[in-house]
Amino acid sequence: MAAEIKTVGVAGVGTMGAGIAIVAARAGFRTVVYDTRQDALDRARRQTEGFLAKSVERKKLTQPQVDRILGDLSGTTRIGELAACDIVIEAVFEDLKVKHALLGELNRICPPHALFASNTSTLSITEIAAGSGRDERVVGMHFCLPAQLMKLVEMSPGIRTSEDAFRAAWEFCRALGQVPVRTQDSPGFILNYFLVPFNNDAIRLVEAGVAAPADIDRAVKSGLGYPMGPLELLDLVGLDTHLLVAEALYASTREPRAAVPALVRRMIAAGHLGRKTGRGFYSYQGSAMFGG
């Protein structure tokens, strides 16, 4: 099962994809990251090197370990280089058509034994698998942000996912050093079922002028014991990503609290997406990867 997985592909090198790639390479897997944009690959490489350098400074890794990790990690703009992968984890936009197009192309180039995993946080695994050409070998693997620091992974089978495929993905997740939990193919799974409405409520407090972002985050961290406030987290995720996730959850559930506040669309229009653009609910210098 997991022992048969030697090479890991990650499709999409945004915040989530870059973090997942670190997790895989750090666990000793040869890891190939695919993205259509070379500049995105270059940025992710710089951020990864910075993250790993901080890990050495904090004595979580040694320099020889970092050298090995970076040696196992490569990037490409040619999807054909994922043909040798035993599992491909997609971390692209929360758009069913985009995911179908990607998985359909992967189905043509990857060997029959290869597993496909989706990092979706809200879309149906069954619906995603329906466009893959290999429904029985598609599994939901929702990593938590930031993936390189958070251990939890929500594992979800689709209706047609085989038990063998799910077991292999589960064992692979454990081999990564992550902590898997099994969920049904239900909108938002566990975390985003709670988190998306909660984050939208925090945005509405800002929108209504009830409190400043820093005060809301301070209250949540101090009063509820959260390591990161909701508005800090939204800046890390990206407001554009939050929009897609919330829209997908709202479309599936019609839960009013999942509907995106108007402020989010105004911030996106202004280019205030969070850390990746240098400004969201807070202002940032540089674009370093979170943690270390």
Pairing state between β 179-182 and 152-157: parallel
Catalytic residue among 55, 142, 156, 200: 142
AA letter at 97: K
Give catalytic status of residue 192 as yes or no: yes
Does residue 25 sit in helix, strand or coil?
helix
Q: Is 154 a catalytic residue?
A: yes
Q: For residue 4, give the DSSP letter.
A: G
* Contact present, 56 and 84 (Cβ < 8 Å): no
Taking CA atoms, 12 is separated from 84, 134, 142, 169, 280, in Å, by: 17, 20, 14, 19, 22
163 is catalytic: no
Q: Which two structure tokens, joined as six digits, stand for 214?
A: 């820093």
Annotation marks residue 200 as catalytic: no
What is the end-to-end Cα distance of the chain in Å, rounded? 31
Question: What tokens does 91 get?
Answer: 């971390």
To the nearest 10°, the Cα dihedral for 18, 260, 94, 46? -20
Catalytic residue (one of 55, 121, 124, 200): 121
For residue 90, which of 150, 189, 8 has the smallest C-alpha distance?
8
The residue annotated as part of the active site, out of 119, 132, 192, 199, is 192
Sheet holding 115-118, edge to edge: 73-76, 30-34, 7-11, 87-90, 115-118, 138-143, 152-157, 179-182
**Six token digits for residue 232:** 């800090």
DSSP string, 266-283: HHHHTT--BGGGTBSSSB
Catalytic residue among 124, 154, 200, 242: 154
CB atoms within 10 A of CB 251: 12
At 139, the amino acid letter reads V
Q: Which residues are catalytic?
A: 121, 142, 154, 192
